[in-house]
Amino acid sequence: MDKLITVSPSPHVYGDDTVKKLMYGVIYALLPAFLVSVYFFGIGALIVTAISVVSCVMFEYLIQKYMMKTEPSVSDGSAAVTGVLLAMNLPTNIPWWIIVIGALVAIGVGKMSFGGLGNNPFNPALVGRVFLFISFPVQMTSWPEPIVSRLQYTDAATGATPLGVIKEGLAAGVPMSRLAEQIPGYLDLFIGHLHGSMGEISALALLAGGIYMIARKIITWHIPVSIFCTVFLFTGILWLINPYDNADPVFHLITGGLVLGAVFMATDYATSPMTPKGMWIYGTGIGVITVAIRVYGAYPEGISFAILIMNSFVPLINKYVKPNRFGEEVKNG
């Protein structure tokens, strides 16, 4: 059958944004967080990132060439970005074969099964991460000690994430004030001196990357800001009602994968809404689900699940929240 050519309605605006350019922009934006990670986790961070990127690119190439029988497009960098993002979501002491499985699931199941770049309803890196999280819960929840385990890979000493400490503690009936002594101070949390997955530790570095991407117009501010606002408001209300059993909103903002998820994972083009209004709905949904899982759910962190759940609403949001047509009069008021 002849290939169908889809022509989108006019205006045909020409921009110089190619996929390649955008993807490399994301990679630059991830650099600060990567460097912080290398500082705290040492060789583990390097090994995990290398394995993840190489296997993602390799699987994309193999699937495109031998299963889909199309011209491989790995040079556009999207597989590499998936690889880096997947690595960012893993603890740095995770065995290599788990990373390879995660890469296969991210690229094979999360992306290529749906037809490749742009057709995937779910963020591929998150599909890989959640798959690994459910499949290998033990390995996926042992977090290496920062700094001291810089020269170790899988044999690193481990500890719990601040969110994990809080979840366990509150479940056991320990008041928040006592738990606060067991977690690092806010400054440490902000710059990234804590247990966690490779890329999520430093809110500071991630925010720097996010600002870079907004400035370069790679992403817009709506999704991250709506997620932050929702999480802040929701946890703030809970905290005001009962400060003994709830962590304060600042803690919720700077720990866990929230910043990484809000800035880098939720803003993925193919899997997020197109209009600002849609983005607000999407971001608010992610925020509410994240807090609901963190506070009421079984898992300490819920941003990955929240993003995946809201990913599935994106077609619906896009259907009902449409941009104004070019030339249409904008209603005032």
Partner 1 sequence: MAKRESTFFNMVLALLTITLVASASLGFIYELTKEPIEAARAARKNEAIRAVVPDFDNNPTEEQYTIEVAGGELVFYPAKKEGELVGTAIETFTHRGFSGTIKLMVGLLPDGTIHGIEVLEHKETPGLGDKMESDKSDFSAQFEGEHPEDFQLRLRQDGGDVDGITATTISSRAYCEAVQRAYDVYMDKDADVSYELPSREEAVEIVLVNFANNPLREEYQVTAGGNQYTVFPGRRGRSYTGLAVDMPSDEGYIGPIRLMVGFDSEGVITGIEVLEHEETPGYGDLIENARSDFYKQFIGLNPGEDNIRLKEDGGIIDNISGATITARAYCDAVRSAWEVFSEAQNM
Partner 2 sequence: MDQAKNFTKGFIRENPVFILMLGLCPALGTTTSAFNGMGMGFATMFVVLMSNIVVSLIKNFVPNKVRIPCYIVIIASFVTIVDLVMAGFMPALHEQLGLFIPLIVVNCFVLGRAEAFASKNTLLSSVIDGTGMGLGFTFALTLLGAAREILGSNAIFGLQFIEGDGMLVFILAPGAFIALGYLIALANKLNKQ
Q: Which of residues 6, 298, 327, 329 is near partner 1 by CB under 8 A?
A: 298
Give the DSSP per-residue string, 224-287: HHHHHHHHHHHHHHHHHH-TTTS--HHHHHHSTTHHHIIIIITT-GGGS-SSHHHHHHHHHHHH
221 interface partner picked from partner 2, partner 1, none, CB below 5 to 8 A per type: none
Q: Interface with partner 1 includes 243 (CB under 8 A)?
A: no
Which does residue 101 touch among partner 1, partner 2, none (CB within 5 to 8 A, set by kind)? partner 2
Q: Give 34's contacts (C-beta < 8 A, 6+ positions apart).
A: 45, 49, 84, 88, 199
Give yes or no for residue 171 binding partner 1 (CB under 8 A).
yes
Q: Total number of residues binding partner 1 (CB under 8 A)? A: 8
Residue 312 interacts, among partner 2, partner 1, none and using kind-specific CB cut-offs from 5 to 8 Å, with none
Sign of the torsion angle spanned by Cα atoms 28, 30, 32, 37: negative
Q: What distance in Å separates the CA atoms of residue 188 and residue 92, rounded to the nearest whole number?
A: 19
Which entry of partner 2, partner 1, none binds 142, CB below 5 to 8 A by partner kind? Answer: partner 1
How far is residue 283's CA from residue 297's CA, in Å, rounded to a whole number? 19
Q: What are the residues binding partner 2 (CB under 8 A)?
A: 101, 109, 113, 131, 134-137
Q: Least CB distance from residue 171 to partner 1, whole Å?
A: 7
Which CB sits closer to partner 2, 112 or 231? 112
3-state class (DSSP) for residue 38 = helix
Out of 137, 185, 243, 315, the only residue in the binding site for partner 1 (CB under 8 A) is: 137
Q: Which is nearer to partner 2, 137 or 185 (CB)?
A: 137
Distance CA(306)–CA(290), nearest Å, equals 5
Q: Which does 172 bind (CB under 5 to 8 A by kind): partner 2, partner 1, none?
A: partner 1
Q: How far is the CB of 159 from partner 1 (least distance, A)?
A: 12
- Residues near partner 1 (CB under 8 A): 137-138, 141-142, 168, 171-172, 298
